[in-house]
């Protein structure tokens, strides 16, 4: 059976702000409106569909696999925007990156407190 993730809804307070945060930070195409959503298309055919909600937003985690060169570019943007970043999902290692599985990774928050992560190598990929 072939099962592939097609899209996920990202709850937010301002869909234009949240979607543009991701597209600008990652250098992606502008989000496209579709019904009540602002849709951000990713390279692997999955989209993040930003939808506003009035109530409190429960923080979710979204991890993005990128190349080493993309890491340098995106990490430079994170630093230029003076965003807090951490090496760990518990957000204890402030201002550090991780080198898990021979790659690099950092965690940071989007405007609604979702914990975003960029990594250059999948965890548990066999390289220590």
Over residues 11-29, the pLDDT tens digits come to: 999 999 999 999 999 999 9
Residue 128 has pLDDT above 60, yes or no: no
Q: What is the CATH T-level fold of the domain 7-119, as seen in this structure?
A: 2,3-Dihydroxybiphenyl 1,2-Dioxygenase; domain 1 (3.10.180)
Tokens of 34: 């579709």
User: If we measure between CA atoms, which residue out of 28, 30, 3, 33 comes closest to residue 116?
Assistant: 28
The reported pLDDT for the residue numbered 127 is 54
**Percent of the chain residues topping a pLDDT of 70:** 98
Residue 51 has pLDDT above 80, yes or no: yes
Please, what is the average pLDDT of the chain? Answer: 95
What does the domain layout of the chain look like in residue ranges?
7-119
> Taking 80 as the threshold, does the pLDDT of residue 8 lie above it?
yes
- Residue 55: the pLDDT is 84
How far apart (Å, rounded) are the C-alpha atoms in residues 27 and 38? 16
Closest CA to 42 of 7, 77, 71, 16: 7
What average pLDDT does this structure show over 75-92? 97
Q: Are 12 and 62 in contact (CB under 8 A)?
A: no
């Amino acid at each position: 059976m072939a099962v592939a993730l097609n899209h996920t809804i990202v709850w937010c307070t301002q869909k234009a702000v949240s979607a543009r945060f991701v597209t600008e930070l990652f250098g992606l195409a502008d989000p496209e409106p579709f019904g009540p959503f602002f849709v951000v298309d990713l390279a692997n055919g999955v989209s993040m569909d930003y939808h506003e909600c009035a109530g409190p937003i429960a923080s979710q985690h979204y991890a993005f696999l990128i190349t080493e060169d993309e890491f340098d570019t995106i990490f430079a943007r994170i630093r230029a925007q003076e965003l807090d970043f951490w090496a760990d999902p518990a957000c204890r290692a402030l201002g550090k990156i991780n080198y898990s599985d021979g790659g690099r990774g950092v965690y940071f928050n989007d405007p609604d407190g979702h914990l975003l992560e960029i990594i250059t190598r999948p965890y548990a990929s066999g390289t220590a």
